Structure 1
Amino acid sequence: MVSAIEKRKLVYVLNRDASGRPTIASPLEAHRSRTIVLDTIGVDNGYDNPIFASLEYQYPDEEDLLDGMSSTDA
């Protein structure tokens, strides 16, 4: 998994061909809007397919912030 703090996370699926060589599939998008990724790690679960965990912070939309400010200012 490749993650970026700014905007995008991409997941690259790794497989093995008939001769045992690793192959990489096309990247899959795994991002969410209004989210800052603080850290991404691989979690060993004892199986062939790993699990990835991301520590993310989802911040409010700009319109939500403006609505909250206008209600406290009034």
Structure 2
Amino acid sequence: MIKKHDCGQKFWVEERWNGLTWVEVITGFEDENGDFIEMQEERWLMECPKCGEIIYPTHLTKEDICIV
């Protein structure tokens, strides 16, 4: 699913089973050209490439996609 940080940066977030519970991990992000970059490693947290703040997937807002 696509989630957005307060600064407008978009991230690709997926749910993964860690053996005990489902957790959200960041698997990619949108670059300055609007293309999504897939990361080689899933991350529990990362520095936002746009604003530099440390972000967690649970602190992001789900992006509403409207298909007409």
Tell me if both proteins adopt one fold, taking TM over 0.5 as the criterion: no
Which protein is richer in strand relative to its size?
A: 2
Q: Which has the higher contact order (CA 8 A, sep 6+)?
A: 2
> Whose Rg is larger?
1
TM-score, with normalisation over the residues of structure 2? Answer: 0.32
